[in-house]
Amino acid sequence: MAYTREDYMEAVQAIQAHTSLKPTVALVLGSGLGGLADTFEERVVIPYDAIPNWPKSTVSGHQGQLVIGKIEGQTVVAQQGRAHLYEGYTPQQITFPVRVMHFLGAETIVLTNAAGGLNKSFAVGDVMVINDHIYFTGMAGFNALSGPNDESIGPRFIGMANTYDRQLRQLAVQVAAENSIQIQQGVYACLSGPTFETPAEVRMLRALGADAVGMSTVHEVVVARHAGMRVLAISGITNISVDDIDAYADSDYKAVHEEVLEVGKLIVPRLITVLRGVLRAL
Ligand code: HPA
């Protein structure tokens, strides 16, 4: 499925019919973090159903609405919930919202997600600023920029050496330090899911240099860079990836998704503190 500029504009117009606010920052609020958008001032809520072509998330913990409003002095547009590859969407469908938010006026995008910790020095509850990624699904042919390229949106080929904006990363680290929040920086590996990693896959990912693993974000990041947006992406480490096949052989291993949602609650206030601090300083 390849979208055209008209498809994006149709969605932009449907959104602009609800509000005259012009957002300059886009937020993609992952697992459990949607609540931040409930605190926006002058907020306008638009259900995804009301926006043409918009992919709907079917996962618990993801609400399905777009919220436009003001927070920390910025006018923002926030996705409360996102769609994933494992729900049956294509990378192009997942990233439709990024282009729409860009056409609404957003020049900066801040994305959050829940991720498994691979780096042995990470602890559950840590916050990790993504400083690079490994786009496994992209390498396997599911790259969000595959397909016809509209040169009026961005170039066919894009360099990825400077994907995660250095200034924004430094800002996030500084805000975390000021608030005594433990913050890590590292490489995020994007897999398709919905299966969590096997112990062998965990060891492989670690050997390849990944610090955290998840099922989202990178699709949106490449499309944002294609459009020239500044990118900040932050993971909440909700679980430490299991690398030993015998670790849970004799006990009930709680479903990881339950752990993700539970620990997510603990991380949310930390992520919100970092996001608010970054927005205030922009
Ligand atoms: N793996 C993949 N995605 C995730 C994980 C994980 O361990 N935790 C949260 N999202």
Query: Over the range 223-258, which residues count as b (16 or more CB within 10 Å of their CB) and which as e?
Result: bbbbbebbbbbbbbbbbbbbbeeeeeeeeeeeebbe
Q: Is 185 exposed, middle or buried (0-12, 13-18, 19+ CB in 10 A)?
A: middle
Residues with CB under 6 A from ligand 1: 114-116, 196-197, 213-215, 238-239, 241, 256, 260
From the list 212, 30, 205, the residue with the least C-alpha distance to 131 is 212
pLDDT at 58: 73
Here the tokens at position 170 are 């430094």
pLDDT at 209: 97
Q: pTM here? A: 0.94
Find the 114 Cα to ligand 1 centroid distance in Å.
6
- Please name the residue whose Cα sits nearest to atom 6 of ligand 1: 116
Here the tokens at position 3 are 């979208």
Find the 135 Cα to ligand 1 centroid distance in Å.
15
Active-site residue numbers? 31, 62, 84, 86-87, 114, 215-216, 239, 257
From 85, 202, 239, 243, the mutation candidate for ligand 1 (largest count of ligand atoms within 8 A of CB) is 239
pLDDT at 1: 65
Print the domain residue range for 144: 5-281
If one counts the domains in the chain, the total is 1
Tell me, what CATH number does 261's domain have? 3.40.50.1580
* Contacts of 173-178 spanning 24+ positions with Cβ under 8 A: 173/129, 175/273, 175/274, 175/277, 175/278, 175/281, 176/127, 176/270, 176/273, 176/274, 176/277, 178/277
From 238, 248, 257, 267, the mutation candidate for ligand 1 (largest count of ligand atoms within 8 A of CB) is 238
Find the 128 Cα to ligand 1 centroid distance in Å.
13
The per-residue pLDDT string of the chain (282 residues; one tens digit each, 9 = 90 and over) reads 689 999 999 999 999 999 999 999 999 998 778 888 889 999 999 999 999 999 887 766 557 899 999 999 999 999 998 899 999 999 999 999 999 999 999 999 999 999 999 999 999 889 999 999 999 999 999 999 999 999 999 999 999 999 999 999 999 999 999 999 989 999 999 999 899 999 999 999 999 999 999 999 999 999 999 999 999 999 999 888 888 887 776 665 666 667 777 777 788 899 999 999 999 999
Atom of ligand 1 nearest to the CA of 116: 7
| Residue 273 to residue 58: CA distance in whole angstroms | 27
Task: Answer whether the bond into residue 199 is a cis peptide, omega within 30°.
Answer: no
